[in-house]
Chain A
Amino acid sequence: MAGKGVITPQKDRSDLIVRLQEAQQRYGYVPEEVIRALADSLNIPVHEVYGVASFYSFLSTRPLGRNVIRVCKSLPCYLKSAEMIMEAVQKELGIGLGETTPDGRFTFQLTNCIGLCDHAPAMLINQDTHVDLTPEKIKQILKSYQ
């Protein structure tokens, strides 16, 4: 018989992502304890919560810096020399891709298209947008994040 796949009918199961987002906001990542506690409270297996948390790019199961820099690497930004922006960020912070500064202030990541292609190159720091970037602007922008 053509089934509907496996669906848990309870509606509160849909809170899972919202609560993972809350944890990400509050702790800067989704700690293992939160994953286990959510599994407990929603009465679903740990692997299901971890499976959701590990699927989405804006959730991290590892601690990140207080400020997460996401420089767009998709084509419209690439055409506008996004790689110079990446270099400028790394030089300014002295860290490589995916790394966090020793003081925990910044984590440097790349991201796929963030929909700011008309103002490329662009990046997100936390949830703020920064557009029409030049390597010269980077220092000043980073200064405003503590």
Chain B
Amino acid sequence: MPQKRVVLKNCEVIDPKRIDSHLESGGFKALSKARGEMTPEQITNEVKASGLRGRGGAGFPCGIKWDGARTAPGANKYVICNADEGEVGTFKDRYILEKDPFTLIEGILIAGQAIGAKQGYIYLRAEYHYLLDHLQSAIDQAKQKGFLNGFSLEIREGVGAYICGEESALMDSIEGKRGEARYRPPFPTTSGLWGQPTIINNVETLMNIPPIILNGADWFSQMGTERSKGTKVFSVSGDVARPGVYEIVLGSPLRELVEELAMAKDVKMVQIGGATGRILPYDKLDTPLAFEAVLGAGAVTVYNESRDVIDIVHRTMEFLAEESCGKCTPCRQGTEVMAEVLDKFHKGEGSLKELQNLEALSSAMMLSSLCGLGQAAPNAVMDSLQYFRNDYESRVAK
């Protein structure tokens, strides 16, 4: 199956610097429809019926999130667009922000209409500072054309912290604090930014909103699988001939993305979802890309036969240990233990006992960590132990 462009339909088509170019290709029609013909409840119902799930990794049903914030009591509600794309190997949001900032703004404004918010933030990661002016110009143009209609949309820049892609840490960061995970409940939809009802959506999630509003939930939910509707934008990198951004219908096999589109050869394994993602060996390449199987935020890093599994898992864990916020015990201490143990295996100094301990540790981290980082941190370790156990056992000190 070839690429299917829903989210990326304007990318490389319109001139992302000029709003007129966007308007000529039908831009902001969904916003007019949402504002002119629909009640907030109808908007959230449409999104609910579409089956759209969050594209940032966790896959929470978007319409349910919106409805939570819509019905929550609160005078100042907020829409936050999470553009803190920090997962290792992800760059699809960068591509979207570069090529089609207007559809994103339209999605944010529809979200604001749906939940009754007057204010929104785009939280842009520090590493994407070079997109700031471009994005601000897009907002200014939309404002000039009257699309903001009293809605205040501000860009907040990150300051270099992967954890701030996690929604509760992101809100703390906007509030000017250390980006640490909060416990939930309360959930952001009832008590988010400054304690107000807040929705936080990934860039790609919001990009799906205008086409859903315009074409209807039925059109959208025809694409995909039972529990994964629509398309997904993937960032493919590593040992491939054609790295880049690809949009395909959810449920498509991983093989199509890796071998057909990105033209990888001699694949040993694929890491799907970045540092917190899953690892699949070559013989699992027919696994469908869907929430039911593997997905994450859509980072697909391909490793060929020459790569050392332990080296890769060790580097993954070093990343997580560096980026853990440090608030809760399992993540702060657990990622450090894992990084140190994996370092030993990498040097051929591991022990079988440590392998067993890694399994107990993984389970505790998954079960007790405060947020998604710590809960998903052991994924690479667990998956590689399942599929490449020999690689570990061969590194046990003799």
Contact = CB atoms under 8 A, between A and B. Distances in A.
When A and B assemble into the complex, do they touch directly, with CB atoms less than 8 Å apart?
yes
A143 interface: no
A74 B89 CA distance: 8
Nearest to A70: B127
Interface in B145-180: 156-162, 173-179
B312 A75 contact: yes
B397 to A, nearest CB: 25
B245 A113 contact: no
B175 A14 contact: yes
Contacts, number: 129
Nearest to A72: B127
Interface residues of A, number: 40
A117 B235 contact: yes
A113 B185 contact: no
A7 B195 contact: yes
Contact of A56 (B127, B161, B194, B243): B161
Contact of A112 (B130, B303, B323): B323
Interface stretch (B47-55, B80-88, B253-261): B80-88
A21 B159 contact: yes
Nearest to A54: B178
A115 B159 contact: no
Contacts of B113: none
Contacts of A58: 126, 158-160
A26 interface: no
Given A76-B301, A79-B239, A115-B94, A55 B179 contact: yes
Contact of A75 (B88, B125, B194): B88
Interface string A114-130: 11111110001001110
Contacts of A1: none
A114 B174 CA distance: 20
Contact of B176 (A17, A76, A129): A17
Contact of B85 (A13, A79, A115): A115
A11 B196 CA distance: 12
Nearest to A5: B182
Contact of B88 (A20, A76, A124): A76
Contact of B161 (A5, A57, A120): A57
Interface in B283-322: 301, 303, 307, 312, 315-316, 319, 322
A3 to B, nearest CB: 10
Contacts of B245: 118
A15 interface: yes
A16 interface: yes
A116 B88 CA distance: 10
A119 B236 CA distance: 11
Nearest to B93: A115
A59 interface: yes
A13 B322 CA distance: 27
Given A21-B157, A59-B160, A79 B307 contact: yes
Interface string A125-137: 0011100000000
A51 B130 contact: no
A128 B130 contact: yes
A112 B322 contact: yes
A9 B194 contact: yes
Interface string A55-80: 11111000000000000001110110
A113 B303 contact: no
Contacts of B182: 5
Contact of A13 (B157, B175, B301, B312): B175
Interface string B58-81: 000000000000000000000000
A10 to B, nearest CB: 10
B219 interface: no
24 contacts: A5-B182, A9-B195, A13-B175, A15-B176, A52-B177, A56-B158, A56-B159, A57-B159, A59-B160, A74-B319, A75-B88, A75-B238, A75-B271, A76-B243, A79-B237, A112-B322, A113-B86, A113-B88, A114-B127, A117-B89, A117-B90, A118-B91, A118-B236, A120-B243
Q: Which 9 A-B pairs have the closest CB atoms?
A: A58-B160, A57-B160, A56-B159, A117-B237, A16-B176, A14-B176, A76-B237, A127-B129, A115-B91
Interface of A: 2, 4-5, 7, 9, 11, 13-18, 20-21, 51-52, 55-59, 74-76, 78-79, 111-120, 124, 127-129
